[in-house]
Structure 1
Amino acid sequence: MMPSYFFAHGAPSLVIEDHEYTSFLKNIAATLPRKPKAIVIFSAHWEHTVQQVSAVDTYSTIYDFSGFPEEMYRMTYPASGDASVTEQVLSLLNDAGIPAVSDTSRGLDHGAWAVLKLIFPDADIPVVALSVNRYLDNAKQYEIGKALAKLREQDVLIIGSGGIVHNLRQIKWGAGAGTIDPWAFEFDTWIEKRLKDWDLQELFRYSELAPYADRAVPTSEHFIPLLLAMGSGDGVRQAELLHRSYQWGSLSLTAWRFN
């Protein structure tokens, strides 16, 4: 069965950075059991109150950022869509009582393409992008991922792209790679234990129970893809931390695999 993943996408500039985490992402494809038939990716930067499922032939590239190096605005990720996978995603979600509709025009935002460009630079694997909805409770987020678990049996790779500690107001520009704010690490390690123990009861209540939760997750859209990816691993319930580092003190660059 194809594993599913959560990848932090950091800042948009991740795609042109050179450090331990980008090296990790560039090598992760080699650890997969086989080349995926398609990729289903949830991005924190596509928000909608009704679950959206992309249905495009070839993706445009969305530059949903400003003030970054010019080379980033010349990058493209012209992946194709996959109509059959889109239809299957819609069917699985609707069968699970999760209303979902197709979107025929939206391109890939940086939460999707910056990560994919590092992992699969040739853009030769079909992609189906999905939105996130911050207004659903955490149990429902998990159920959305769980509803799609069957896709893994068909060599579809499920990815959640976001950030466990993601508060741009707390980052310290210019802080070195070895700088880790204690509060960010404490929140991250609290989450780590609940993921490894598959403790859904506490994880779903992270905003009440976890230390510094309001500081680490000021808004939930970047955290939600973690729950979505985890839900797709409900059958086995095995979580593995593959990488964790930090930028600018508190922006966590984290990768999790769910088997």
Structure 2
Amino acid sequence: MIEPRQPALFLGHGSPMNALEENQFTQSWSQLGREFSQGGNKPKAILMISAHWMTDVVAVTAMSQPKTIHDFGGFPPALFAMQYPAPGSPELAQRIAQALAPMPLMQDQKWGLDHGAWSVLVKMFPDADIPVVQLSLNLNENAAFHFNLGQRLAGLREEGVMIIASGNVVHNLRRLDPRVASFDWAQRFNGVIRETILKENFADAVNYDQFGTDAQLSVPTSEHYLPLLYILGAKHPDDQIRIENDEMVMGSISMMSVILS
């Protein structure tokens, strides 16, 4: 039986508080979960790439029951109490190792699901009944490396695996300002990356540092931007590209999401 190809999604996740709140962003994530579960097309498993698992190798969660990681501070007790008890999938972890061979892939037994993963999944798939495997970000590698991994993982979409990446195109916590809708540099960088995506000029998205000061301010550290490149790499030639939640919050966080289906 041929599986329907699963979508690949980059979700701008923003604050962990979105896991508790109901707003336009969380409503969008909930709608995506419903949309991609219709007609018996619910994913068999999810491969998650989160901004919040940074390593110096490439690793994958390989346990059968990943823990919910509360990797933040200064938030209400209700957020620390949240659990997302989705099963893991050692089988999918092995399949990912096959897809990436001969590159070594560490089969991790310690990590789990960090808030970059569960804060969006709790809205998309609140029943937590889909196996989830998380792939780490090897920050020793350049942007092209991450795009290439997305290309090598794209075939999983044909096997019932939804690929979700979670981060933010613009993410500068030091410049957060609740009085500002959007800084000019953040708006310009977000806009130029949006255009590179819609025009499928992915090389410019990979080489984002060419955009000078706007890029330096928007991506002061790479971990929230790199997940996007996995999704662009995983694009199938006949995928439609959809942009959602294309808004800035607190001046320097982009909530833009990219849906490939």
TM-score by length of 1: 0.93
Which residue does 1:27 correspond to in 2? 31
Which residue does 1:106 correspond to in 2? 111
Tell me if the contact between 1:98 and 1:144 (Cα under 8 Å) persists in the aligned partners. Answer: no
More deviation in 44-53 or 13-22? 13-22
Alpha-carbon distance in structure 1 between the residues aligned to 2:247 and 2:174: 19
| Number of equivalent positions | 254
Do structure 1's residue 154 and structure 2's residue 159 form an aligned pair? yes
Tell me if the contact between 1:5 and 1:159 (Cα under 8 Å) persists in the aligned partners. Answer: yes
Q: 1:6 to 1:102 in 2, by over 3 A?
A: same
Tell me if the contact between 2:30 and 2:123 (Cα under 8 Å) persists in the aligned partners. Answer: yes
Q: Among residues 66, 85, 98, which one is paired with 1:59 in the alignment?
A: 66
Segments of 4+ moved more than 6 angstroms: none
Shift of 1:129: 0.6
Q: Deviations over 1:48-99 (max 9, x none)?
A: 12110111111211111111011001100111011221110011011xx432
Which residue does 2:57 correspond to in 1? 50
SS of the counterpart of 2:247?
Answer: strand
TM-score by length of 2: 0.92
Alignment identity in percent? 36
Do structure 1's residue 17 and structure 2's residue 21 form an aligned pair? yes
Which residue does 2:128 correspond to in 1? 123
Which residue does 1:209 correspond to in 2? 211
Q: 1:65 to 1:231 in 2, by over 3 A?
A: same
Do structure 1's residue 168 and structure 2's residue 168 form an aligned pair? no
Which residue does 2:8 correspond to in 1? 4
Structure 2: segments with no counterpart, 5+ residues? none
Alpha-carbon distance in structure 1 between the residues aligned to 2:18 and 2:175: 18
Structure 1: segments with no counterpart, 5+ residues? none
Alpha-carbon distance in structure 1 between the residues aligned to 2:152 and 2:169: 22
What letter matches 1:230 in structure 2? L
Tell me if the contact between 1:187 and 1:212 (Cα under 8 Å) persists in the aligned partners. Answer: yes
SS of the counterpart of 1:121?
Answer: coil
Alpha-carbon distance in structure 2 between the residues aligned to 1:19 and 1:42: 23
CA RMSD after TM alignment: 1.6
Tell me if the contact between 1:44 and 1:221 (Cα under 8 Å) persists in the aligned partners. Answer: yes
